[in-house]
Structure 1
């Protein structure tokens, strides 16, 4: 039986994330050949030792004639020019987070992909995580009751980036999780950030995202300068509370049947506590474990082959970039910034 000809996929930038994509692509039946594209020839040599037959190029221009699709895993400032170059050649593109460094650049990328009728997808890996799917289902099914607030923390000692601050490096993960779980984008953003060990780039940030539907506030804490590695999402509702700890080897999600309510005698008998507390079971729901990156890359190749719209397409990436840009502006100007401030003038009329 003759094997169907698969996709020719290039990976631009073969560092930490790029090498992971190459490993995953090597296992996909839909991929026939892989090109490692990196100006550092040593990286291609190292990858070839693990994945025989891999092709190598030092720049995207040389590789484009031989590619059907490309994954861009380079610093954020290079995402727009590299993506536009591939799109102009009719090559399908997936860009690692964030899609771009500004909403205006993201819109240019989306328009270019639509004009050339090619797939544009962003690497919001957590939207392909089974635990995050579970969180979204809980919200949709109202299992937590009325949502009071959400809180996320993504902390570690490092890794400092060269061309973006901690907001653009770490916060895209949590913003994409929140938007996906809530099924909405925030309407406004507040942000406080500071520089400590690095004189040029913010290494600690606190974001507050205000959503309108559902009417809830989410807090995001990101840091390159913390003694503990933390990857946590907390959702608090009127009926239950849930914690997603991505570093847990087992029981990544724990649902706490806990809650508080105003005591019936509050305001009448000041000797009694103002709130009544309810304590119940802690349940760890079963999760079908997957490798999110594998699911993501498989979805990308499926979209390229079938022409279907990606779950994390350009508009999805734009939604996250809008939040990041508003957060940066909010931190700089010391005020709450509405996402509507980033809309092109024509869309506001």
Structure 2
């Protein structure tokens, strides 16, 4: 069995230190959001954008005219005054870019997924540990107030024992060559690992490729956690409307998380079934409970800003961030197991075994 690990970094003490001199790498879909937040947060100083595409570099300069654009990553890494890199490039580039940055002694926040395979993800964690720098995967949903509220409900025992979770993450597009599992599954996998706080034992997956063979636009994942809880995830780029909904069923209560529902993103249902053990077959009884529905108040906050705040705090104090590196490894291992299951016609694939083979 693979043991859950955390990056072993030395404890540090917060102090009145200057902002972290930071470079954002990549200015594609997510890069502009990162640049805006880095500029707005007092913990950071945006010293450059690293981007090879001239058109994207020009788009950045039009918005942030006083910050240079650098095309050469080696030039960034050779600068001893740069403290951290925030990487927002395609997933297949993550391992090479992040490893070079870690070896150069830079702290790294990399957008999901941490890598495209378990071996590369573990290699990045080992490199960060060796260099005593922070490696943090950008699982931004872990900093969403509704997701944090559900975790709080679980920790307080409001839901009781966790039975199962259902999740649907669908929209029309955005089409990417890596397939819908690599694109969308890391969101749900990271949330589930954060909520259930147990390793995923196995994954079974099925899907459908419509436009290109080997590039599934729709996939269905079934997860089994080590403690027995299960989860079903539906992912699709072929849906008429945007759906971001998860339902958690516990022994005491149920909770619905709908990311598109605004102020009522969380609804707690005091509903369920109660079974009385019969003395004989004729006394079998199952009763239904239907109580109140509560929509708790959520404090508004931008998850990406909270994620960056956690990144800076962890660099300065040595604390383990909420989106820690080994969670990133677990997400990649589950994602890779799902891809293997898909190729094998839906056969369940053990997640821990894949990670152990990667370590070996």
State whether TM-score is above 0.5: yes
**TM-score, structure 1 as length reference:** 0.91
Q: Is the 8 A contact 2:38 2:45 kept in 1?
A: no
Higher relative contact order by CA 8 Å / sep ≥ 6: 1 or 2? Answer: 2
Q: Is the 8 A contact 1:26 1:34 kept in 2?
A: no
**1:204 counterpart = 2:243:** no
**1:302 counterpart = 2:316:** no
> How many correspondences in the alignment?
341
**1:135 counterpart = 2:135:** no
RMSD: 2.2
**TM-score, structure 2 as length reference:** 0.89
**1:151 counterpart = 2:166:** yes
Counterpart CA distance in 2 for 1:181 and 1:94 is: 22
- Give 2:269's aligned residue: 256
Alpha-carbon distance, 1:328 to partner: 0.9
Counterpart CA distance in 2 for 1:126 and 1:153 is: 15
Alpha-carbon distance, 1:238 to partner: 2.7
Alpha-carbon distance, 1:76 to partner: 0.6
Moved more, 339-348 or 103-112: 339-348
- Give 1:216's aligned residue: 229
Q: How does 1:85-234 map onto structure 2 within 5 Å?
A: 85-162=100-177, 164-213=178-227, 215-234=228-247
Secondary structure at 1:210 match in 2: strand
**Cα distance per residue 1:103-122 (max 9 Å; x no partner):** 10111111111111111000
Alpha-carbon distance, 1:243 to partner: 0.5
**Cα distance per residue 1:31-56 (max 9 Å; x no partner):** 12332111112222222332332221
- Give 2:330's aligned residue: 319
Alpha-carbon distance, 1:261 to partner: 2.8
Please point out which of 40, 44, 66 is paired with 2:57. 44
Q: How does 1:12-91 map onto structure 2 within 5 Å?
A: 12-66=25-79, 67-91=82-106
- Give 1:285's aligned residue: 296
Counterpart CA distance in 2 for 1:221 and 1:346 is: 27
**Cα distance per residue 1:277-318 (max 9 Å; x no partner):** 222211001112211100101111222233333332221110
Moved more, 57-66 or 330-339: 57-66
Q: Is the 8 A contact 1:6 1:33 kept in 2?
A: no
Counterpart CA distance in 2 for 1:281 and 1:14 is: 46
Q: Is the 8 A contact 1:119 1:310 kept in 2?
A: no
